[in-house]
Copies of this chain bind each other. A is one copy, B any other.
Amino acid sequence: MSETAELRMMLAVALEEARAGLAEGGVPIGAALFGADGRVLGRGHNRRVQDGDPSMHAETAAFRAAGRLRGYRRTTMVTTLSPCWYCSGLVRQFGIGRVVVGEAETFHGGHDWLAEHGVEVVVLDDPDCTALMRRFIAERPEVWFEDIGE
């Protein structure tokens, strides 16, 4: 499988999570943490609305679902949206080696900062991810701005 095809397959998992979040009435951002062998270690989506939990951003939810691990260098965090500072900090602290971003158009988080600090960052500019967020922000701006602390 080509690298592009592999990244697209990974993104499809995150996008499935984002859509599940939307179907539950939540913020449609999804993420998954993959091992070096391409297997999913953990996956999840934003749970602010569903659980009343502001700490469960998608990346955090995926990281949490993976449980306790030693060493994240060879893992990949895939997320439908550019990671905010909170989730970027997670990636940097735990030394996650690669971040794959569905889109960074509706929100530009800390992925440049991660690249500066040695994380491999790939931005896919995926139109489905962008459309999903654009629609959510238009329909529920108050929840979106709450979710990013603005």
Which residues of chain A have a CB within 8 Å of any CB of chain B?
Answer: 48, 52-56, 60, 63-64, 66-70, 72, 84-90, 92-95, 110, 146, 148-150
Nearest chain-B residue to A109 (Cβ)?
B93
Nearest chain-B residue to A87 (Cβ)?
B89
Asked whether, in the complex, the Cβ of A149 is within 8 Å of the Cβ of B72, the reply is: yes
- Extra inter-chain contacts (15) besides given A54-B94, A55-B60, A86-B92, CB under 8 Å: A48-B68, A55-B55, A55-B90, A56-B64, A68-B146, A84-B89, A85-B90, A85-B92, A86-B86, A86-B94, A89-B89, A89-B92, A93-B149, A94-B149, A95-B149
User: So how many copies of this chain end up in the complex?
Assistant: 2
Please measure, in the bound complex, the distance between the C-alpha atom of A92 and the C-alpha atom of B48, giving whole angstroms: 18
Contacts of A69 in B (CB 8 A): 54
Nearest chain-B residue to A49 (Cβ)?
B68
A32 CB to nearest B CB, Å: 15
Most buried by B among A60, A90, A146, A150: A90
Q: Which of B64, B72, B85, B146 contacts A89 (CB 8 A)?
A: B85
Q: Which of B92, B94, B95, B148 contacts A93 (CB 8 A)?
A: B148
